[in-house]
Amino acid sequence: MGSPRRYLAALAALLLSCSFRGASAAPAPASFGDNFEITGAEDHVKTSADGQTWYLYLDNKTGVGFQTKERYLFGWFSMKLKLVGNDSAGVVTAYYMCSDVDAAPQRDELDFEFLGNRTGQPYIIQTNVYHNGVGGREMRHSLWFDPTADFHTYAILWNAKHIVFFVDKVPIRVYPNDASKPGGNAFFPVAKPMYIFSSIWNADDWATRGGLEKTDWAKAPFVSSYRDFAADACAWPAGPGAPSPPACAAATGDSWWDQPPAWALDEAQRLDNAWVARNVLIYDYCDDRKRFPAPPEECALRGAGTAS
């Protein structure tokens, strides 16, 4: 696909030129509180002095989360995270998009889940897709760096052609739609706007070695860190007078994420995605014949030019 790299480079150049023309007039960057609201125990969230970084705390009493004030249909969504360090077995940090604030039965959802581990063992990143309340589309990868040592960027590109999960601009997973069918394949979220969420919580009944490794509460509190949220996307207005859907939700081509270069991986990204599949892929639901004797229909779309 036409990576946002070139678009972001052009945007950076424009912002740089503007800063020389009138640096004093440049607006202050948005704080986390401008985009998000806390869900859960507010005393388990800390904020940096400049308001640009949030820290979420998990202890044996509770975890915590946050969600965007707006919801979106299609676009580019990016966040920098630094995950829980040291012994994080049983701890899950989730960064995801969901159409409902309460995990309603008919929700659509796009998930990053970071599964903690015992000290020295690599984190596992699980991605998943839900449509109309049905999931089961898990893929798992090991990360090729230490995600606890520094911030790394995790992003989702979502348009009517495919959904791409990125780690530091590397496309680790492509989830395709079938453009040859009216309405696409039956398991592609294309109609429900979504909020962006993150949370930290205890999942030691399944998260680490299938629940064999339990959370060591003597190591609490567990802290995940967030900064540099960005959404170049179609915001879905709220309220009775708002258009439904907004014009930007249609395939107009007015935004870079809804133009042909963003409909497929470019050559460099295909090479990166192939490297990921060879070297760090742990589990792929499309290959699990115990769960899916007949692979789900979207699995057949891989290799059609839009998927890994």
What CATH number should be reported for the domain holding residue 48? Answer: 2.60.120.200
The answer to whether position 271 is within a domain reads yes
Average pLDDT over the chain reads: 86
The answer to whether position 306 is within a domain reads no
165-194: average pLDDT: 89
pLDDT at 29: 58
The answer to whether position 21 is within a domain reads no
**157 contacts 175 by C-beta, under 8 angstroms:** no
Please write the tens of the pLDDT for every residue from 94-148.
Answer: 999 999 988 889 999 999 999 999 987 889 999 999 999 999 999 999 999 999 9
In this prediction, what percent of the chain has a pLDDT beyond 90?
Answer: 69
Strand order across the 71-82 sheet: 45-47, 53-58, 222-236, 71-82, 152-158, 162-167, 170-176
173-184: average pLDDT: 82
pLDDT at 50: 87
Q: 42, 109, 138, 298: which one is catalytic?
A: 109
Is residue 91's pLDDT more than 90? yes
Q: Which domain covers residue 219, as residue numbers?
A: 32-301
Total of domains in the chain? 1
Question: pLDDT category, 249, cuts 50, 70, 90?
Answer: confident
Is residue 183's pLDDT more than 70? no
Cα torsion angle, 268, 273, 274, 278, sign: positive
Three-class secondary structure of residue 86 per DSSP: coil
Is residue 65's pLDDT more than 80? yes
Kindly provide the b/e burial profile for residues 215-238, where b requires at least 16 CB atoms within 10 angstroms of the residue's own CB: bbeeeebbbbbbbebbbbbbbbee
Statement: the pTM of the whole predicted model exceeds 0.75: yes
Is residue 178's pLDDT more than 60? yes
Q: Is-catalytic flag, 37?
A: no
In this prediction, what percent of the chain has a pLDDT beyond 70?
Answer: 85
The answer to whether position 9 is within a domain reads no
Q: Is-catalytic flag, 109?
A: yes
Q: 37, 42, 70, 113: which one is catalytic?
A: 113
The answer to whether position 6 is within a domain reads no
The answer to whether position 244 is within a domain reads yes
pLDDT at 303: 67
Is residue 51's pLDDT more than 80? yes
The answer to whether position 7 is within a domain reads no
Please write the tens of the pLDDT for every residue from 203-227.
Answer: 999 999 999 999 999 999 999 999 9
The total number of residues shown for the chain amounts to 308
Is residue 304's pLDDT more than 60? no
- Residue 77, both tokens: 């969504």
The answer to whether position 87 is within a domain reads yes
Is residue 184's pLDDT more than 90? no
Please write the tens of the pLDDT for every residue from 11-39.
Answer: 343 333 333 333 334 445 566 778 899 99
